Amino acid sequence: MRTVIVDYESGNLHSAEKAFQRMAREGDAGEVIVTSDPDTVRGADRIVLPGDGAFAACRAQLFDHRGLFEAMREAVIDKARPFMGICIGMQMLATRGLEHGETEGFDWIGGTVGPIRPEDASLKVPHMGWNDLILDQPHPVFDGIETGQHAYFVHSYQFHVNDPAHLLAHADYGESVTAVVGRDNLIGAQFHPEKSQATGLAMIANFLRWTP
């Protein structure tokens, strides 16, 4: 069993690598490697796509690595391997992003990534720090996790899903802010599970044994 964390030079992958490797060891869930090799991604049993920064820049960076997106699509869409997107890696699942203009997303989960607009002017953007998760749909990746547990967010834009069934969890930040999306073999977290202590580690462990 091999889980790959896709390296397309978008952000520091060290904390994600260590968190996934730790939970793989504890759960006897095989190996976790970081790679930018399309053939390795194509053959993976599970795929994790992280991302830090702006939607358009991350997408451009991913597609600059020739063959990497195509390999990921083959594994995730054609072969239905379990997939987790983190932060911008989750946002790129959308149909489009509106950060610094309009940018095409993967369109794996229908929706639009738009700016956070809290009604309370005292709430600053970016939404940064700890917030309570509010679970909207049951999901195997939430096993042992309850509404009210904390997760660590850093973002200025959020994923507005077209189908409410694809919204799995949200947070309250002057408005409902999407926290987790998913369908079929896809799951995406706006927060950083690798930085979310017990809640995030539980979610990672659940993902590593999830069999959609």
The residues annotated with a catalytic role in the active site are 87, 192, 194
Beta strands in the chain (DSSP E): 2-6, 31-35, 46-49, 83-86, 96-97, 103-104, 111-115, 127-132, 134-135, 150-155, 157-161, 167-172, 176-183, 186-189
Give φ, ψ of 98 to 5 degrees. -110, 20
3-state secondary structure of 121: coil
Helix (H) or strand (E) holding 89: helix 88-91
CA separation for the pair 173, 120 (Å, rounded) = 9
Q: Under a CB-based contact definition with an 8 Å cutoff, are residues 70 and 63 in contact?
A: no
